[in-house]
Amino acid sequence: MKIGVIYWSGTGNTEMMANAIAEGVKAGGADAEVMNVSETTAEAALGYDALALGCPAMGAEQLEESEFEPFFTELEPGLKGKNVALFGSHEWSEEGQWMDDWTERTLGDGANLCGGAGLKIFSTPDEEGLEKCRALGKALVSM
């Protein structure tokens, strides 16, 4: 089983989450490939057995618009029945509305969403946050 961990990150917080998720995937006994979204395509992403997708809150509670949003839009028609985990960091607002919206959107696409909702972490993940990421990676393997 090979899991694609694909993220966008401006200042490294979501990238830290991606690497911790990959650690969890490997601890769960599967292979993980961590990629910046600029290094892959929607078509290649759909070749993985499961996906962990990460993007911080950008714009006004939105996905990053120049790379991640177009990638995700292209991916959406292929997400039906796919095991997917969502994750990302936020900082300007406590609520993390972008992730609630992204969760709804992904469920609407028919994906099997790991944990039932995306994992949002405020600012730079601390050890507790990284542990949540590892647990998410592990849970994605055992779906």
Ligand X SMILES: Cc1cc2nc3c(=O)[nH]c(=O)nc-3n(C[C@H](O)[C@H](O)[C@H](O)COP(=O)(O)O)c2cc1C
- Binding residues (CB under 6 A) for ligand X: these are 9-14, 56-61, 89-93, 123
CB of 80 to ligand X, least distance (A): 28
Of 31 and 100, the one with the shorter C-beta distance to ligand X is 100
Half-sphere CA count of 51, side-chain side, radius 13 A: 29
Of 71 and 82, the one with the shorter C-beta distance to ligand X is 71
CB of 97 to ligand X, least distance (A): 8
CB of 46 to ligand X, least distance (A): 24
Of 74 and 91, the one with the shorter C-beta distance to ligand X is 91
Asked if residue 10 lies in contact with residue 64, where contact means CB atoms within 8 angstroms, the answer is yes
For 81-116, the DSSP string reads: T-EEEEEEEE-S-SS-HHHHHHHHHHHHTT-EEGGG
